[in-house]
Chain A
Amino acid sequence: AQKVTQAQTEISVVEKEDVTLDCVYETRDTTYYLFWYKQPPSGELVFLIRRNSFDEQNEISGRYSWNFQKSTSSFNFTITASQVVDSAVYFCALLNDGATNKLIFGTGTLLAVQP
Protein backbone atom coordinates (compact mmCIF):
# COMPACT_ATOMS: atom_id res chain seq x y z
CA ALA A 1 0.00 0.00 0.00
CA GLN A 2 1.13 3.55 -0.68
CA LYS A 3 0.10 6.15 1.78
CA VAL A 4 1.15 9.52 3.18
CA THR A 5 0.13 10.51 6.70
CA GLN A 6 0.22 14.04 8.04
CA ALA A 7 -1.07 13.58 11.56
CA GLN A 8 -1.11 17.28 12.40
CA THR A 9 -4.32 18.77 11.05
CA GLU A 10 -3.70 22.30 12.32
CA ILE A 11 -0.78 24.03 14.00
CA SER A 12 -0.80 27.54 15.43
CA VAL A 13 2.42 29.33 16.38
CA VAL A 14 3.49 32.85 17.15
CA GLU A 15 5.78 34.67 14.77
CA LYS A 16 9.49 33.83 15.18
CA GLU A 17 8.78 30.42 16.68
CA ASP A 18 10.23 27.34 14.99
CA VAL A 19 7.72 24.78 13.77
CA THR A 20 8.03 21.23 12.42
CA LEU A 21 5.47 19.63 10.13
CA ASP A 22 5.47 15.85 10.23
CA CYS A 23 5.12 13.50 7.28
CA VAL A 24 5.17 9.70 7.41
CA TYR A 25 4.92 7.60 4.25
CA GLU A 26 4.36 3.98 3.31
CA THR A 27 5.57 2.33 0.13
CA ARG A 28 6.89 -1.05 -0.95
CA ASP A 29 9.03 0.42 -3.72
CA THR A 30 12.75 0.98 -3.28
CA THR A 31 12.80 3.93 -5.64
CA TYR A 32 10.42 6.74 -4.85
CA TYR A 33 10.22 10.51 -4.50
CA LEU A 34 8.92 12.70 -1.72
CA PHE A 35 7.62 16.23 -2.09
CA TRP A 36 6.42 19.17 -0.06
CA TYR A 37 3.96 21.69 -1.49
CA LYS A 38 2.66 24.92 0.04
CA GLN A 39 -0.90 26.13 -0.58
CA PRO A 40 -1.35 29.78 0.48
CA PRO A 41 -4.84 31.29 0.79
CA SER A 42 -4.78 32.12 -2.93
CA GLY A 43 -5.19 28.39 -3.58
CA GLU A 44 -2.34 27.60 -5.93
CA LEU A 45 -0.01 24.81 -4.78
CA VAL A 46 3.63 25.88 -4.80
CA PHE A 47 6.36 23.27 -5.13
CA LEU A 48 8.92 23.45 -2.29
CA ILE A 49 11.16 20.41 -2.54
CA ARG A 50 11.64 16.97 -4.09
CA ARG A 51 13.75 14.21 -2.56
CA ASN A 52 14.52 10.80 -4.05
CA SER A 53 14.79 7.67 -1.92
CA PHE A 54 18.54 7.33 -2.43
CA ASP A 55 19.38 10.75 -1.10
CA GLU A 56 19.01 10.95 2.65
CA GLN A 57 20.93 14.16 3.07
CA ASN A 58 19.03 16.82 4.89
CA GLU A 59 18.39 20.00 2.97
CA ILE A 60 18.28 23.61 4.05
CA SER A 61 16.91 26.48 2.02
CA GLY A 62 16.86 29.74 3.94
CA ARG A 63 14.46 29.31 6.86
CA TYR A 64 13.23 25.97 5.52
CA SER A 65 14.83 22.62 6.25
CA TRP A 66 13.85 19.04 5.57
CA ASN A 67 14.79 15.90 7.48
CA PHE A 68 14.48 12.67 5.48
CA GLN A 69 14.86 9.44 7.50
CA LYS A 70 14.25 6.16 5.69
CA SER A 71 14.55 4.20 8.94
CA THR A 72 11.37 5.82 10.23
CA SER A 73 9.78 6.51 6.79
CA SER A 74 9.56 10.17 7.63
CA PHE A 75 10.17 13.37 5.70
CA ASN A 76 9.66 16.23 8.15
CA PHE A 77 9.67 19.92 7.32
CA THR A 78 10.90 22.62 9.71
CA ILE A 79 10.37 26.35 9.38
CA THR A 80 12.77 28.38 11.50
CA ALA A 81 11.73 31.80 12.81
CA SER A 82 8.27 31.52 11.30
CA GLN A 83 6.62 34.54 9.68
CA VAL A 84 3.00 35.45 9.01
CA VAL A 85 3.59 34.82 5.29
CA ASP A 86 4.28 31.17 6.12
CA SER A 87 0.60 30.72 6.99
CA ALA A 88 -0.71 28.15 4.53
CA VAL A 89 -1.70 24.54 4.10
CA TYR A 90 1.33 22.31 3.58
CA PHE A 91 1.09 19.00 1.75
CA CYS A 92 3.52 16.13 1.74
CA ALA A 93 3.34 13.80 -1.28
CA LEU A 94 4.82 10.52 -2.51
CA LEU A 95 5.52 9.36 -6.05
CA ASN A 96 6.76 5.88 -6.96
CA ASP A 97 9.21 5.59 -9.82
CA GLY A 98 7.50 4.54 -13.02
CA ALA A 99 4.09 5.55 -11.69
CA THR A 100 3.45 7.99 -14.51
CA ASN A 101 3.65 10.98 -12.21
CA LYS A 102 0.81 9.87 -9.95
CA LEU A 103 1.35 11.82 -6.76
CA ILE A 104 -0.15 10.51 -3.53
CA PHE A 105 -0.89 13.39 -1.20
CA GLY A 106 -1.27 13.54 2.54
CA THR A 107 -4.27 15.31 4.01
CA GLY A 108 -2.32 18.50 4.64
CA THR A 109 -1.40 20.56 7.70
CA LEU A 110 -2.84 24.02 8.16
CA LEU A 111 -0.19 26.29 9.66
CA ALA A 112 -1.34 29.56 11.19
CA VAL A 113 1.40 31.99 12.20
CA GLN A 114 0.09 34.69 14.51
CA PRO A 115 1.77 38.11 14.61
Chain B
Amino acid sequence: DVKVTQSSRYLVKRTGEKVFLECVQDMDHENMFWYRQDPGLGLRLIYFSYDVKMKEKGDIPEGYSVSREKKERFSLILESASTNQTSMYLCASSPLSEKERYEQYFGPGTRLTVT
Protein backbone atom coordinates (compact mmCIF):
# COMPACT_ATOMS: atom_id res chain seq x y z
CA ASP B 1 0.00 0.00 0.00
CA VAL B 2 1.18 3.47 -0.84
CA LYS B 3 1.66 5.54 2.23
CA VAL B 4 1.86 9.30 2.31
CA THR B 5 2.39 10.75 5.75
CA GLN B 6 2.29 14.31 6.95
CA SER B 7 4.15 15.45 10.04
CA SER B 8 1.16 16.91 11.91
CA ARG B 9 -2.61 16.55 11.76
CA TYR B 10 -3.21 19.84 13.57
CA LEU B 11 -0.94 22.85 13.91
CA VAL B 12 -1.46 26.25 15.51
CA LYS B 13 1.00 29.04 14.71
CA ARG B 14 1.21 32.76 15.27
CA THR B 15 1.21 35.42 12.57
CA GLY B 16 4.74 36.03 11.28
CA GLU B 17 6.12 32.64 12.29
CA LYS B 18 8.01 30.48 9.82
CA VAL B 19 6.11 27.23 9.37
CA PHE B 20 7.31 23.92 7.94
CA LEU B 21 4.90 21.25 6.78
CA GLU B 22 6.55 17.93 6.03
CA CYS B 23 5.39 15.17 3.73
CA VAL B 24 6.96 11.76 3.25
CA GLN B 25 6.00 9.01 0.80
CA ASP B 26 7.30 5.46 0.88
CA MET B 27 6.66 4.30 -2.69
CA ASP B 28 9.57 5.89 -4.53
CA HIS B 29 7.25 8.21 -6.46
CA GLU B 30 8.81 10.86 -8.65
CA ASN B 31 5.98 13.41 -8.43
CA MET B 32 4.90 15.16 -5.25
CA PHE B 33 2.30 17.89 -4.71
CA TRP B 34 1.07 20.35 -2.12
CA TYR B 35 -2.57 21.49 -2.15
CA ARG B 36 -4.64 23.63 0.13
CA GLN B 37 -8.30 22.89 0.69
CA ASP B 38 -10.79 25.59 1.63
CA PRO B 39 -14.59 25.38 1.94
CA GLY B 40 -16.29 26.27 -1.33
CA LEU B 41 -13.00 26.35 -3.23
CA GLY B 42 -12.05 22.67 -3.42
CA LEU B 43 -8.37 21.77 -3.67
CA ARG B 44 -5.93 24.22 -5.19
CA LEU B 45 -2.39 23.36 -6.20
CA ILE B 46 0.34 25.34 -4.44
CA TYR B 47 3.53 23.70 -5.74
CA PHE B 48 4.62 20.43 -7.22
CA SER B 49 7.89 18.63 -7.80
CA TYR B 50 8.72 16.01 -10.42
CA ASP B 51 12.22 15.21 -9.18
CA VAL B 52 14.66 15.94 -6.41
CA LYS B 53 15.51 19.66 -6.27
CA MET B 54 12.98 20.34 -9.05
CA LYS B 55 9.85 22.36 -8.37
CA GLU B 56 7.15 24.18 -10.25
CA LYS B 57 4.59 26.71 -9.15
CA GLY B 58 0.99 25.68 -9.04
CA ASP B 59 -2.01 27.97 -9.11
CA ILE B 60 -1.51 29.75 -5.76
CA PRO B 61 2.23 29.82 -4.88
CA GLU B 62 2.27 33.28 -3.30
CA GLY B 63 3.42 33.21 0.30
CA TYR B 64 4.79 29.67 0.04
CA SER B 65 8.02 27.95 -0.91
CA VAL B 66 8.99 24.28 -1.11
CA SER B 67 12.00 22.07 -0.68
CA ARG B 68 12.75 18.64 -2.06
CA GLU B 69 16.20 17.48 -1.03
CA LYS B 70 15.33 13.77 -1.03
CA LYS B 71 12.99 11.87 -3.29
CA GLU B 72 10.70 10.73 -0.50
CA ARG B 73 10.30 14.09 1.25
CA PHE B 74 8.58 17.28 0.11
CA SER B 75 8.36 20.23 2.46
CA LEU B 76 6.05 23.21 2.27
CA ILE B 77 7.32 26.40 3.90
CA LEU B 78 5.34 29.42 4.97
CA GLU B 79 8.04 32.08 5.30
CA SER B 80 5.89 34.41 7.41
CA ALA B 81 2.53 32.88 8.27
CA SER B 82 -0.57 35.02 7.89
CA THR B 83 -4.15 34.46 9.00
CA ASN B 84 -5.29 33.94 5.40
CA GLN B 85 -3.10 30.86 5.26
CA THR B 86 -5.31 29.14 7.81
CA SER B 87 -6.41 26.08 5.87
CA MET B 88 -6.19 22.32 5.38
CA TYR B 89 -2.98 21.35 3.58
CA LEU B 90 -2.84 18.10 1.63
CA CYS B 91 0.23 16.41 0.24
CA ALA B 92 0.08 13.90 -2.62
CA SER B 93 2.45 11.78 -4.67
CA SER B 94 2.27 9.90 -7.95
CA PRO B 95 4.60 7.67 -9.94
CA LEU B 96 5.98 8.35 -13.40
CA SER B 97 4.99 4.99 -14.88
CA GLU B 98 2.75 5.46 -17.89
CA LYS B 99 -0.01 3.30 -16.49
CA GLU B 100 -0.18 4.82 -13.04
CA ARG B 101 1.14 8.32 -13.34
CA TYR B 102 -2.21 10.02 -13.26
CA GLU B 103 -3.28 8.53 -9.97
CA GLN B 104 -2.33 10.70 -7.04
CA TYR B 105 -2.09 9.28 -3.52
CA PHE B 106 -2.94 11.67 -0.72
CA GLY B 107 -1.81 12.08 2.86
CA PRO B 108 -4.26 12.68 5.74
CA GLY B 109 -3.82 16.44 5.69
CA THR B 110 -2.58 19.07 8.15
CA ARG B 111 -5.09 21.52 9.50
CA LEU B 112 -3.14 24.73 10.08
CA THR B 113 -4.54 27.60 12.12
CA VAL B 114 -2.68 30.92 12.11
CA THR B 115 -3.69 33.26 14.92
Q: Is the interface of B mostly helix, strand, loop or mixed?
A: strand
How many inter-chain contacts with C-beta < 8 Å in the A-B complex? 55
Interface bits A62-105 vs B (CB < 8 Å: 1, else 0):
00000000000000000000000000000100010000111101
Q: Kindly specify which of A12-20, A43-51, A53-61 makes contact with the partner chain.
A: A43-51
Docked CA distance A17–B31 (Å) = 39
Q: Which residues of B from 66 to 115 have beta carbons under 8 Å from A?
A: 88, 90, 92, 94, 101-109, 111
Contacts of B111 in A (CB 8 A): 43
For the complex formed, measure the closest distance between the CB of A31 and the CB atoms of chain B, giving whole angstroms: 12
- Is the pair A44, B101 in contact by a Cβ cutoff of 8 Å? no
The answer to whether A101 and B33 touch (CB under 8 A), given A43-B88, A91-B43, A95-B102, is yes
For the complex formed, measure the closest distance between the CB of B1 and the CB atoms of chain A, giving whole angstroms: 12
Interface size class of B (residues with CB under 8 A): 20 to 34
- Is the pair B105, A47 in contact by a Cβ cutoff of 8 Å? yes
Q: Which residues of B from 14 to 72 have beta carbons under 8 Å from A?
A: 31, 33, 40-45, 48, 50, 56, 58
The 5 closest A-B pairs by CB, nearest first: A45-B106, A43-B109, A105-B42, A107-B42, A105-B43
Q: Which residues of B are at the interface with A, using a C-beta cutoff of 8 A?
A: 9, 31, 33, 40-45, 48, 50, 56, 58, 88, 90, 92, 94, 101-109, 111
